[in-house]
Structure 1
Amino acid sequence: MKVLIVDDEPIVRKVLKTMICWEDYGLQWGGEAYDGLDAWEILQREPIDLIVTDILMPRMDGLELVKRLRQANADAAVVVLSCLDDFSYVKEAMKQGAHDYILKPTMEPEQLAEILVEAKEALMAQRKENEHREQLQRQVQLSQQAQWGMRLQKVWISGQWDADLEQEWFQAERVLSSCMIQFTMDSHLSVLGWQWPDALAYVSLNEQRTLLIYEHNGTNRAEQVEDTLTEQFSLGRESFCVTEIKDIHNEEQLLELIQQHELVRHGLFYEGNSSGLSRWSTIDPSSLERNGMLPVEEKQNLLRAISGMNEEAMNYWSKQIAAQLEQNRPSVDQTYSFIYELLGLAAAFARQQTDAELEQFERQYVSSSSVQSCLDMQSLGAWFIDAVSELANLLHSNGQLTSRNPFVQKAMSFMRQQYHLQISTSDIAEHVKLSRSYLSDLYSKETGESLIETLTNIRIQEAKRLLRQSEQKVYEIAEAVGFIDPKTFAKTFKKIVGCSPKEYEEQNK
């Protein structure tokens, strides 16, 4: 396999070219490029299998090169060269399809060669899988089921009915039924190319959704499909979800078929049941609708809790988010996207506060395939709560919120010593000897939360200790930790901790 080195530093290109014995690793030197644009021109002329690219380069950087390769569906694997301070670029490159990365300051030629061998093996496996996939798809395209399926897709796209299809399917007042299978990301390959028994048409809507059209004969088609998936393909019921629409009498119903399946899927997703689905085919669609609102405020509260490294608040707001999604019932795709994006933001916020290793957390939770492995809201909510709990544990095990900035450290120290007094941000700024606005901006940039948020968290943590260990009344504790108004204290405590001070005291005495 040919290897192309892309780096704007000539010494790096020379070292890699001369210090690695490419043939020993089953590789071949394929050339070098000054930057991404130079590399792109080479890739248009020559077949390259493996690309080693720096991130920061003139004209076209490594990240843009990776994006172009992905957009072009290039049959090549990419390894990124990274410095310590550009990891955010590396992270984005990995999301865009890079195979791996290696730190330039500590890179050894042999280490890079080993990574390239791994990339080569992964690329070969991917090519073999693609070849198998293409072969199966060619076979499916030749089947009558697929031919009718393609004609049905044309009807959906154009909005114009197919007279031949109408005559074939609805002759002699024939009645149809339809099943749609929603697969998890890792299970759909198991049935690729399968020609479903007795089906009139087979439509692959996308990688995870398959639609089947049957002649309705009084049997429960959904159960038959489930039996096929579990018995012949050994898929667990957690790997797929089947919806069924019965009593299709005319072309107008076929035109609305996907929307009807989506409505049924929406109801099943929030009902938390992924078996025995045919009963949903006659449900009133209006009963499945809710306000569809996403829990944006709760999302912001969770991110603030992460910035403050407040483990209890993180767990509280994750539960609130799951409960709000279940109550409001936005579209299934909206819910998946919301959870996926939120976990990505959560990891990014956590990375600003700690040096903890989060790569394993991101691999396990921050991926669309992981999110969509949960086929109902109940399991997705529990999975999301577990993810946030895992992140909270990582933050907790890595210590408390810190900053190397002396002004920020001095402000933190002052708040920890004087939290019981009625101090303001002006008092903190006067103690630090900076203007209030400058200190506020500096503190927020360094810690990810405001001075008031830190002060409030310090007060609530001390209040929790007193509730557990002292015999003081709630209003006395409120005053002891710097709150003048007990009602404000109780409201703030519940927002951060998730329960009232009295409830917390009863649970922890």
Structure 2
Amino acid sequence: MFQTLLVDDDFLVRSYLKTLDSWEKVGYEVVRDVQDGEEALEVMNQEKIDIVVTDISMPLMDGIELIKAVKKNWPEVSVIVLSCHDDFEYVKEAMRLGADEYILKNTLDENSLLEVLEKAKAQIEAKKAKTTQEKHTKKLIQMGSHTLKYHFFNGVLSQTLEGEVREQKRLEAQIAGSYKNSAVIAMFMHDWNRQNREWTPLEAEQYSLEFRTGIESEIDAVLGEENELKEIIYLGAGIFCCFLDLSEMRRDSLMRQRLTDVAGACFRFCKKEPYSFGISVSSICIGVQDGLRQAYQQARQMMKYGFYDRDSILYYDCQKEVSRELPKSAEKLIHQVQNQTENTEEELEQEAVTLISEAKQKMTDGRILVQWLHKLDESAYIKRSAQVYTEIDSIEQFKMALEESVQEVCKHSEEEIPEGVSHTIKVVLLYLHQHYKEQISLQDVAEEAGVNSAYLSYLFKQEMRIGFANYLQECRMRCAEKMLCDTNLKIKEVAEAAGFNDYHYFSKIFKKYHHCSPADYRKKQ
């Protein structure tokens, strides 16, 4: 069954479409129906959709914008356009953008829908057949020496290749080294998560090939006639490994010199690359069965030090162990943030400096620091996309993100409070500026201020010249305006982050404030 999404702002049209039997006859299933383009994209981010049937004229995001987004993010998805006669110029634009078929609403019935669905089905099946053939061809091209070598080393590292089977696969992959004595040099791309989003799969594959070719030439110049005693394997996620065979060397000093020379060659090559790389190096490990795996684990362990040192070769023999414990100041800073009215900006900034210093001394695992930062942001109601956290891969980037969090916290506490207001209203305003993104009520704030809710309502209106509910709404609206200008969050995400728990209510109120939709407001900025 083809998973189908209906998109039309007219509830009656969607209801009528779902009653038609043509869907099931041709093998379609209407899994969801929504009223505008933004809701459609939300569904497509959560569920697998094969075909989108969409109206052209809709509020917030119309059919043209939806088709653009669908074809950009899900090019394999087919699109059928619903249109009226007077929409024909829009229909032509939709077809130009990649819509596969269109249906006139004026003539829509069982037969006309059946005819269009059959055409769309044939096109979908043809696309799938073409995609399958392209994938098969690409797989055959990629299956070469690197693939065989990759599977050999992956099998050794995962302990699925041992004994005679290991030796057989080594020979099949034409790997010269026996790896009785071995070492591993890992070259890992900094900022991989960001770069990976910018590359297409083909661009990533092309860069991988160019990198392997270049680094092999650099290392071959060092190894000379013994250049077969190394293999360069791309393991994915921006990690290239040089598996160095030292089995023919008998003296420890010679093996160490060889390892140092090759690591130096890797370092020099990576410095010339347009992207930043870290270099981590294992010790020399002995043993056919476990030596190579142990060396790889050491190199991977040293990659964690790249969070603190992006400019040096990271040797396993020269480093202390990475700590998995947070600095003592971490919990103290969270407590200060949660009670920000009791701390000055200088105190928060100083505690942040202390935390960075302690993290460097303890060599705290960068992943643990990033997880802690996420917790800090949640406690301060600071919204960041998941992408922000995944892209933090150095202590400098962590420091910048932490400073931004502290500034955001301080900004909340420094919201303008009119002169001459009573202590009660000052407490209320400070609480509102910190918690307006939550679902708080007059009663909640009154309890925080230690007064009766009816009295607080009267006092707030008297001193602030605006009702409590309207003031709270204005706080949320200012936040939404800023996020629309400064972030790429979806409109629904902006509404939720600003404290509006009803997306459609937010859009309605926003139009009253600005005489335009949130999407149009964003375009004007």
TM-score by length of structure 1 reads: 0.50
Structure label with greater radius of gyration: 2
